[in-house]
Amino acid sequence: MPMHQAEGENLRTRVGKYELGRILGEGSFAKVRFARNVETGQGVAVKIFNKSDVLQRNLFHQIEMEIFIMKLIKHPNIVQLYEVMASKSKIYFVLEYVAGGELYKKIKQRRRLKEDKARNYFQQLIQAIDFCHSRGIYHRDLKPENLLLDRNGTLKISDFGLSALVHQQRGDRILHSACGTPNYVAPEVAFHKGYNGAKADIWSCGIILFVMMAGYLPFDDSNLIHLYRKMQRAKLNFPPWFSPEVCSLISRILKPSPMHRITIPEILKDPWFMKDISIPKFQDETEVSLNDVYAILNESKQELLVAEENKLNVPGPAQWNAFDLISLTNELSFSKFLGTEQVNRQETHFASRSPPSEIIRRMEETAKPLGFYFLRNNYKLKLQGSEAGRKGHVSVSAEVFEVAPDFYFVELKKCCGDSLEYQEFYDKFSKALKDIVWQNEVG
């Protein structure tokens, strides 16, 4: 989507049909600006990523995951994603604009919220998180700064950049990546233990409820180790204005052991929680298409990679000579790559007549849905699992070599991680690449 500037005394930037205005916020990877649809007059928020930053920080996979999650969860208490666009240098998320600002600012202005108001916001939060969990989505960064309020007092959850999908988890549905804001993360996350995403989100909701009503954190310390020890002990000192009913509920949420922590179905039955509750009505969308988004992101990625290669005058793949081939003759077997034999060695090879840029692209596309991040350097590729396993993250290197014109070898090496987990990845990876593998055996 081309970007241009509108003429006039007040020069403003246009992105498609949106006229960009003031900055609403800035993060580590993106900037958010207010914008107005020039056709309808509707106000929106536009989240802007620089493509060069996305490539250098290897964020394409994370951005795609955020888009997929936001398209999957259409709920009245979740900020909606309207569309995704791109220019030559930037990627744009067009989001619902929530005019009331952050819940954090409201708490700061009023010092604390009255019990009925806090309950109303907590009810909306829990119902939205329950909906997310029903879709296999765990937010993992719930805090008042990521909860927005519209002018009608409707709470909206924002910022799903650290969220996890159930298919990213291991078979026992345990997550391993520690993320979130220290004062709001559950003890099992803080201590880098495997954790259940739903239980971790519930803990964060309990901290938010306490902060809304107290105006301060239940556990706080400038030293992270001391902070985490306080969380582990979970000694709660409730202010005198807390009712016994809310004290009971918070105590059941902020249990250090996730096994003893209350669940969302149990929260939904709690008498204090259920008082004056309003159940939102909305149309649940179960069919989600990302074809248009993937087209934009893939095109952006390829354009950026080509531009970087041209700028750096990147040479072609390294060449293998006859001596390299002879050294492999006794070991090379394409049947191993194609899955007809178990791979026990730390490296293996396959041949292809596809162009090297296509080989790299296909390996990236294949690794992504398997939960692997990738970093490309010319015709070398480093793949790393997004979740730590039994022996840390599985890491794999791949490099394309030219043997003859229009004939290439690809070398795969396991760098680190558990061998069984690598084998599981390798089986799926090799099967997905069968169509680019030259299948005549050597030797």
The torsion defined by the Cα of 245, 249, 252 and 258, in degrees rounded to 10, comes to: 180
Whether residue 270 contacts residue 279, with contact meaning beta carbons closer than 8 Å, is answered with no
Q: Measuring CA to CA, how many Å separate 291 from each of 47, 296, 439? A: 20, 9, 31
CB 20 within 8 A of CB 106: no
Instruction: Count helices and strands (H / E) in the chain.
Output: 15, 17
197-214 and 244-253 are packed helices; what angle lies between their axes, rounded to 10 degrees? 150
Distance CA 165, CA 139 (A): 9
Q: What is the CA radius of gyration of the chain?
A: 25
Of 101, 154, 158, nearest to 278 (Cα)?
154
- Residues 6 or more apart from 134 whose CB is under 8 A from it? none
For 163, the 3-state DSSP assignment is: coil
Binding site membership: which residues?
Answer: 47
Annotated binding-site ranges for ATP: 47
CB atoms within 10 A of CB 70: 22
Convert 136-149 to b/e letters by CB count within 10 Å (16 or more is b).
bbbbbbbbbbbbbb
Strands 395-404 and 318-319, by their bridges, are parallel
Residue type, position 33, single letter: R
The answer to whether 77 touches 154, Cβ cutoff 8 Å, is yes
Residues known to be catalytic = 141
Is the distance from CB of 316 to CB of 402 less than 8 angstroms? yes
Three-state secondary structure readout of 192-233:
CCCECHHHHHHHHHHHHHHHHHHCCCCCCCCCHHHHHHHHHH
Q: How far apart are CA 72 and CA 88, in angstroms?
A: 27
DSSP element (H, E) containing 71: helix 60-72
From the centroid of its chain, how far is CA 391? 23
